[in-house]
Amino acid sequence: MSDLILNAAVLGVGMHLGAWRHRPESPTSYVDLDFYREIARLAEDGRLHAIFLADTLAVSEENFERPNLGAMDPTTVLGALAAVTKHVGLVATATTSYSEPYNLARRIASLDHLSRGRAAWNIVTTFIPDVAANFSKAPLPPHAERYARAEEFVDIVTALWDSWEDGALVGDKASGLFADRARVHPVNHDGNFFAVRGPSTLPRSPQGRPILFQAGSSEQGRTFAARVADAIFAVQNTLPAAIAFRDDLRQRAEGFGRDPNSLKILPGLLPIIGGTEEEAQKRKKDLDELAGDAELRKLASRVGVAVSELDLDKPLPIDRIKANDRFNSSRGFQAAAVELATSGNLTVREILYRNGGGHPQVVGTPEQVADFIESWHRAGAADGFNVMIDEYPSGLRAFVGEVVPLLQKRGVFQKEYRGTTLRENLGLEKSNDTVRTQEQRRSNYA
């Protein structure tokens, strides 16, 4: 059993909100290319499948109190890393709510060609209301509208990626034939949100098309993911909920005529590692103290109540959370926090100890972290994990140097890369979709 997938998720200088004060390196590392180069080198040395870059289009979540968790444009950073890596995948987050399909399709395809087939797009629909004000006078659209736009957006992007058939780029110097025009097709899309003629300026991807990640956990998000995604960045905090989520997504994928094994479910996981439990707990305590009440405020935002309504030594106010019919943020994060709180009858303080920015948090030795990963994987709860490193580079160094060898020794994680493209390394077949008509595309989201 060696099909476990592990990605390093990069958010600022670490997922923990106290990381920038705890680490000895400069607080400005997150705008330094050498910082990302070291992460890429560590990830590739550890045979991790991909580097996963978050994105953000507003400053409100961090509010200038710490490095923004996604300040740098992911495709720009990953383009630079393509030149200094050979195997590790490059996952760029980009929103469908505040992008245009043609431009984004071109950016991701460019990254895929420059990396020789290692690019992926993490599809998000933007749930932070303050982002809207950076693009227009209109407020953040309702949840259903954001997903309706995303459905159409992704169909256009994939149609553009498919607009050049395999072999359309001929490059025959003797005959003078550069491209076979009969094998390059316009998209001619005219939908509810977009009009795009196409075709793409770039030939077909080395991996057929770049990998699609998606992170939705709502009812609409799950259906969307089951139809279009190759990998799901899941938000699940308990083993039973994670098993149910994976089973549900696989069943939905089958309903779309897909092989359920072609959908990889990757929950987030925040490990805080120490040589002993005491060392790990001290690292956690030191990080928490430096973060102040930032994690509490983030939890309040994620569940949709005021900070004043959260008492550290009392349970979450579940009735207040469920009664908030104006909640327009991430329903996945909200549901995961509620599930964790109710399944274990936890206080807010206990939730903060086990919930790392919305994801399960393991505070312990390398063996304990490896046990958690292996147990979830073997139980059918996860095909792998997006590892939310607490602090870069020390957290990744500990994970790669101490946890990965344990997983390799147990036979659950790869010792070498399977192929040359990200699609191959994830155990997915090359995409060979033919060009679809506008009517076929519209039937997907009409």
pLDDT value of position 444 = 54
Q: How many of the other CB atoms lie within 10 Å of CB of 56?
A: 22
DSSP E strands in 292-388: the ranges are: 355-356, 359-364, 384-388
Tell me the pLDDT band of 103, cut-offs 50, 70 and 90. Answer: very high
Q: How many of the other CB atoms lie within 10 Å of CB of 282?
A: 14
Among 116-125, 247-256, 335-344, 384-393, which stretch is predicted with the lowest mean pLDDT? 335-344
Among 110-119, 124-133, 206-215, 273-282, which stretch is predicted with the lowest mean pLDDT? 124-133
Domain ranges of the chain: 5-277+363-445
Q: Which residue has the tokens 């005529």?
A: 257
Token pair, residue 117, equals 């087939």
pLDDT value of position 432 = 66
Domain 5-277+363-445 is found in CATH 2.60.40.2470: no
Write out the DSSP string of 426-445. Answer: TT-PPP-PPPPPHHHHHHHH
- Decide if pLDDT at 327 tops 70: no
CA dist list (Å): 40 to 168, 170, 339? 33, 34, 34
Strand, coil or helix: 95: strand
Q: How many residues does the chain have?
A: 446
Q: How many of the other CB atoms lie within 10 Å of CB of 105?
A: 29
Q: Encode pLDDT of 123-172 as tens digits.
A: 999 888 899 999 999 999 998 999 999 999 999 999 999 999 999 999 99
Helix (H) or strand (E) holding 233: strand 231-234
CB–CB of 155/356 below 8 Å? no
pLDDT value of position 437 = 47
CB–CB of 165/435 below 8 Å? yes
More confident residue, 218 or 426: 426
pLDDT value of position 345 = 81
- Decide if pLDDT at 344 tops 90: no
Helix (H) or strand (E) holding 41: helix 33-45
DSSP 129: G
Q: Span 304-310, mean pLDDT?
A: 81
Residues whose CB is less than 8 angstroms from the CB of residue 196 and which lie 6 or more positions away in sequence, other chains included? 101, 102, 156, 160, 187, 189
* Rounded-to-integer distance, Cα 408 and Cα 310, Å: 42
Diameter of the chain measured on Cα atoms: 77
Q: Encode pLDDT of 9-35 as tens digits.
A: 999 999 998 999 999 999 999 999 999
CB–CB of 64/89 below 8 Å? no
pLDDT value of position 183 = 97
- Decide if pLDDT at 82 tops 80: yes
pLDDT value of position 65 = 85
CB–CB of 349/312 below 8 Å? yes
N- to C-terminal Cα separation, the chain = 41
Of the ranges 183-197, 303-317, 319-333, the best mean pLDDT one: 183-197
Average pLDDT, the chain: 91
Residues whose CB is less than 8 angstroms from the CB of residue 439 and which lie 6 or more positions away in sequence, other chains included? none
Nearest alpha-carbon partner for 219 in 129, 126, 331: 331
- Decide if pLDDT at 441 tops 60: no
Q: Span 382-404, mean pLDDT?
A: 98
Cross-strand pairs, 175:
none
Angle between helical axes of 219-228 and 143-161 (0-180°, round to 10): 10
Q: How many of the other CB atoms lie within 10 Å of CB of 391?
A: 24
More confident residue, 411 or 356: 411
Q: Encode pLDDT of 352-378 as tens digits.
A: 777 656 789 999 999 999 999 999 999
Of the ranges 69-78, 299-308, 315-324, 428-437, the best mean pLDDT one: 69-78
pLDDT value of position 413 = 98
pLDDT value of position 438 = 46
pLDDT value of position 356 = 56
pLDDT value of position 267 = 96
- Decide if pLDDT at 335 tops 90: no
Helix (H) or strand (E) holding 269: strand 264-273
Q: Span 74-97, mean pLDDT?
A: 97
More confident residue, 64 or 319: 64
* Rounded-to-integer distance, Cα 18 and Cα 67, Å: 10
